[in-house]
Amino acid sequence: MCGLAGIYSHKPVAAELYDSLIHLQHRGQDAAGITTYKNHMHKTKGMGLVRDIFTEKKIKHLKGNIGIAHTRYPTHGGFGHGEIQPFWTSVPYGIALAHNGNLTNYKELAKNITSNESRYLNTNSDTEVLLHFFADLLHYKNQHLNDKEFFDRLCSALEKIYEHIQGAYSVVALIIGKGLVAFRDPQGIRPLVKGIRSNGNGGHDYIIASENTMFYHLGFEPEGNVLPGELIYISEQGKVFSKRLAKKSFNPCIFEYVYFARPDATLNDVSVYRARLRMGQNLAERWKKTYPDKIPDIIIPAPSTANTAALSMATALGVRYSEGLYKNPFIGRTFIMPGQKVRKKSLSYKLTPQVTEIAGKKAMIVDDSIVRGNTSREIVRMLRDFGATEVYFAVACPPVQSPCFYGVDIPTRAELIASNKTMDEIKQYLEVDLLLYQEIEDLAEAVMRKGDHHIDRPCMACFDKHYITSEMNNEKIQELEMMRINDRNSY
Ligand code: SF4
């Protein structure tokens, strides 16, 4: 779970990269970094929120018109300062790289790099492995290439990456003396969007980012997506080269639409906001079929990701939408805080029930998802404590049954309530009168109903256990789960 951005501009980019990170902050709150280039690389990194890491003075020192930035929530590797992206290497050229996703064959790649290629890995991060793999593929004696020749070399490197690197990877890289590079894994699992703006002098500036949430603010026009398996190269002179080097089925992550992305984002040509509205509509239809005699008095979203689905569900059921739970906006989202203890503690700070909205009512809570179940249970208790006569629970996605190994923090099966309990047991655990999850086909329909998209079928592995990359067998799942546990224990 990370956010990244790369900008090629006619003017210094540091402040715009900072703004980009502010607009990507929801994708990771653990750490952030910016790397720019002018004469040499300029780098600033730190732990915590973007606004706390970068001061005006630090931004002024990040010189140059090309740069990349990253905000992190770790799903692989450790939690220390050394794992903060962008990573960089001085050979060849000088390359800085930022990555969103997870490499599922990290272990094999790391072994290969350290034994065969004589490189030293300083961290457990799969991004460092990806950087070294990429750097080795660009390392030839003749480094004096024109833009087209360099693009051809990049294409050869990417063909090897697509052949050997498994998992999810959306990447931006800065290469000294060469420019900005972006690529996306062949199934397009994690998002990567493009934007363009006039530089006022007949040329253009470019941005490539995880979401288009900063485009309006920075004056960029959306220009679609980096396609699955596509390489884009923007040379130092502003020439743009692109080629789709690998074609597989297009399976972007559906959880981006359920929970992760900001509602104003458009990913893979599908509006996140509209997808969430449709999730609420589909859930309402399913509710009417399943519990025709059980219509609540009010519908309360578990704020704030579920607001949109709850609103459309309320409209479809003809029920009043209520903000009966007030969310303190100054507390980070619990899902993306590392460590269970912090997660538990933060909920009582975060949500306050409104008695006038709840007392004496049959209340329905709509949440985007239930992962571990403890947050949902606390919300139900809050409503009962404040006088709800009945509590129903509707979930905008199906039961989360399996971990994500493609870059979202859905950890191990042992922690997932739906992996360990039956529907009745979940209902009892949550202490709800009625419980309804979205059907998987209704969720897919909600995302794919509209938009000029080319999605074949979204990745829904955390719901249906159908991992979309070919290496994911039982043995691999166990190996990756164990790696995740070890990473967490080292925290
Ligand atoms: Fe997204 Fe779930 Fe697939 Fe991970 S497993 S990429 S969270 S849909």
Same domain for 151 and 281, yes or no, is no
Name the residue at shortest CA distance from atom 1 of ligand 1. 253
Same domain for 237 and 291, yes or no, is no
Same domain for 233 and 175, yes or no, is yes
Can you list the alpha helix ranges (DSSP code H) found in 351-435?
355-358, 374-385, 417-420, 423-430
Same domain for 39 and 118, yes or no, is yes
Expressed as residue numbers, the domain containing 229 is 3-248
Ligand 1 site-directed mutation target among 102, 104, 253, most atoms within 8 Å of CB: 253
Is the pLDDT assigned to residue 332 strictly greater than 70?
no
CA distances from 230 to 171, 174, 198, 257, 361 (A): 11, 17, 24, 22, 53
Domain count, the chain: 2
> Is 460 or 117 the better-scoring residue by pLDDT?
460
Same domain for 359 and 452, yes or no, is yes
HSE-CB for 83 with a 13 A CA cutoff:
19
Ligand 1 site-directed mutation target among 254, 371, 409, most atoms within 8 Å of CB: 254
Burial group, residue 80, by CB count within 10 angstroms (0-12, 13-18, 19+): middle
HSE-CB for 53 with a 13 A CA cutoff:
25
CA 19 – CA 25 distance, rounded (Å):
10
Phi and psi at residue 173, to the nearest 5°:
-140, 150
Q: Give the tens place of pLDDT for each residue, 301-327.
A: 999 899 999 999 999 999 999 999 998
What distance in angstroms lies between residue 46's CA and the mean position of ligand 1's atoms? 28
pLDDT, residue 452, reads: 85
Q: Give the tens place of pLDDT for each residue, 364-378.
A: 999 999 999 999 999
Atom of ligand 1 at shortest distance to CA of 468?
3
Q: Distance of alpha carbon 128 from its chain centroid, rounded?
A: 19
Atom of ligand 1 at shortest distance to CA of 403?
5
Same domain for 293 and 330, yes or no, is yes
The token pair that represents 266 in the structure block: 């458009």
Quick count: other Cβ atoms within 10 Å of Cβ 423?
12
CA 103-135-54 angle, 5° bins:
75
CA distances from 295 to 72, 384, 393 (A): 41, 18, 12
pLDDT, residue 346, reads: 57
Is the pLDDT assigned to residue 211 strictly greater than 60?
yes
- For residue 139, the domain's CATH number is 3.60.20.10
What distance in angstroms lies between residue 456's CA and the mean position of ligand 1's atoms? 15
Mean pLDDT is lowest, of 62-76, 191-205, 273-287, 288-302, for 62-76
Same domain for 276 and 379, yes or no, is yes
What distance in angstroms lies between residue 167's CA and the mean position of ligand 1's atoms? 11
Pocket of ligand 1 (CB under 6 A): 189, 253-255, 404, 406, 408, 410, 459-462
Same domain for 235 and 379, yes or no, is no
Cβ atoms of 3 and 210 within 8 Å: the answer is yes
pLDDT, residue 338, reads: 55
Same domain for 196 and 298, yes or no, is no
pLDDT, residue 143, reads: 72
Q: For residue 33, what are the β-bridge partners? A: 45, 70
CA 85-90-96 angle, 5° bins:
30
Whether residue 304 is preceded by a cis peptide bond, meaning omega within 30 degrees of 0, is yes
Place of tokens 């949430």: 213
